[in-house]
Amino acid sequence: MARQKTIYSCQNCGFQSPKWLGRCPDCQQWNTLVEEQPTTTSSHSRALPQPGKPQKLAEVSSSEEDRLSCGMAELDRTLGGGVVPGSLILVGGDPGIGKSTLLLQAFARLAQNGTALYVTAEESTRQVKLRADRLGIKTDHLYLLAETSLEQIKQRIKELQPAFLVIDSIQTIFTSSLDSAPGSVSQVRECTGQLMIQAKGDGLPTFLVGHVTKDGAIAGPRVLEHMVDTVLYFEGDPGHPYRILRAVKNRFGSTNEIGVFEMQEQGLREVSNPSELFLAERPKESAGSAVVASLEGSRPLLVELQALVSSSSFGTPQRTAIGIDHKRIALLIAILEKKVELSLAGQDIFLNVAGGVRLDEPAIDLAAIAALASSHLNRVINPHLVLFGEVGLTGEVRAVSQPELRVKEAARLGFTQCVLPQGNLKNIDSPDSIKLIGVSHASEALEVIFA
């Protein structure tokens, strides 16, 4: 009897090899290749329920998709305005971060618009019911199903005809058409593909919960993120109650929007004014503290940057950054030494974004430089002063996008002064309660701040 052929698939990136390898040549990860049976051609012969035909571009309707509100403004904001019928949404995050809690709360409110089916493949229906009782969820239109077989799930969908569907989680679902174990590359890819056909064909909005690896990426093949319409990451520092819902892919909206939640005993509470929350415990008269007006999508955020500069007792000074790219901080330190002539070579430097937020835009450069200089010189920055601006390698302060939004948010929270790039002063309509100070160089900015 002929030996059945097998292949080895990388569980991290989906690379396939006819023999086992210790290290994946594609993603360079060790011990990720697992033996599987090759997928038959028939398992990939899927098609949409209604075959498409070519259309002229002018004949294609460009009307906006009808969106359904989740009843949670922060989730709607991240999705681009609500749930689009037929969309496939992948939600990832660390274990225990609150993914199941978020979706259970959202589906309890979505159930007011139609029947919702919550497929729990990792927990029993009793466990989900206990969580629902803790969250105070009471609805007759939310159905629970504890099942891991894709064929059984599709059968229950056909019988119930739900208006909304959630799969928690996609890594535990398997199809009998493949012999590989649940969570393998082929199983995740095949199950997601069939759920995508179901969502597009029936117009069924589907949420998939995805596990994450130790590196923070969603487990399974990279093609999983390409197949879905929207990818959401639920982030949060275990030491803080705040959670950030961030879109990294969205075919129906912007990927720059974020939703802010606070984890409480009764579940996740939406934070409609995150700036006020992040600045609630800011020290008033302490060196090394600066407030930056950052922008996440269309939402301005005022966040405190804290810096600590102290003499190093080791040969190599430490450089630690939390919530900011450490390479960006190394660049700003070099600018302070070369262009502003601050001696930081023998200093340990620590920079932290208070509240567990992560900031990636270059507009935080000016505030980071101010916080570092404040700690090094032991000079206190005016607590009613806010900063924003990008700093170039020659020390120049460059203009950033949407300065008016940042200034208005600062004025609303009671700030009376704003240091911003000189290029942003043109045609900006600011409130009378805040004074704008334009600067063109980092050294000029420090002179204004510590005048």
Binding site per annotation, positions for ATP: 93-100
Contact yes or no for 439/332 (Cβ under 8 A): no
pLDDT value at residue 389? 96
Average pLDDT over residues 50-60: 78
What is the residue-wise DSSP string for 104-150?
HHHHHHHGGGS-EEEEESSS-HHHHHHHHHHHT---SSEEEE---BH
Q: Which two tokens stand for residue 249?
A: 């892919």
| Amino acid sitting at position 126 | R
Q: Which helix (H) or strand (E) holds 35?
A: strand 33-36
- The neighbouring-strand residues paired with 264 are 267
pLDDT value at residue 41? 43
Entry pTM: 0.77
- Angle at which helix 326-338 crosses helix 365-377, to 10 degrees, equals 60
Closest Cα partner for 125 from 151, 143, 103, 139?
143
Cis peptide before 169 (omega within 30 of 0): yes
pLDDT value at residue 214? 62
Matching fold, domains 67-272 and 277-449: no
> For residue 408, what are the CA distances in angstroms to 49, 303, 404?
51, 15, 6
CA distance 439 to 432: 20
Binding site per annotation, positions: 93-100
More confident residue, 215 or 347: 347
CA distance 117 to 133: 17
What is the residue-wise DSSP string for 386-437?
EE--EE-TTSBEEP-S-HHHHHHHHHHTT--EEEEEGGGSTT----TTSEEE
For the domain 67-272, what is the CATH code? 3.40.50.300
442 has a pLDDT exceeding 60:
yes
3 has a pLDDT exceeding 80:
no
- Per-residue pLDDT tens for 213-235? 666 666 666 678 888 999 999 88
Domain ranges within the chain, ordered by starting residue: 7-38, 67-272, 277-449
Fold of 277-449: Ribosomal Protein S5; domain 2 (3.30.230)
Cβ neighbors of 369 (< 8 A, separation 6 or more) are 332, 335, 336, 340, 391, 442, 445, 446
40 has a pLDDT exceeding 60:
no
- Per-residue pLDDT tens for 384-441? 999 999 999 999 999 999 999 999 999 999 999 999 999 999 878 888 899 999 999 9
Contact yes or no for 92/218 (Cβ under 8 A): yes
CA distance 303 to 353: 7
89: region left, alpha or beta (phi > 0 left; psi from -120 to 50 alpha):
beta
CA distance 421 to 193: 49
pLDDT value at residue 347? 92
CA distance 278 to 358: 12
CA distance 163 to 202: 9
CA distance 417 to 327: 29
- Per-residue pLDDT tens for 358-396? 888 999 999 999 999 999 999 999 999 999 999 999 999
pLDDT value at residue 62? 64
**Mean per-residue pLDDT over the chain, rounded:** 87
Closest Cα partner for 221 from 270, 279, 290, 170?
170
- Per-residue pLDDT tens for 287-342? 999 999 998 877 889 999 999 999 988 888 899 999 899 999 999 999 999 999 99
CA distance 184 to 8: 11
CA distance 369 to 366: 5
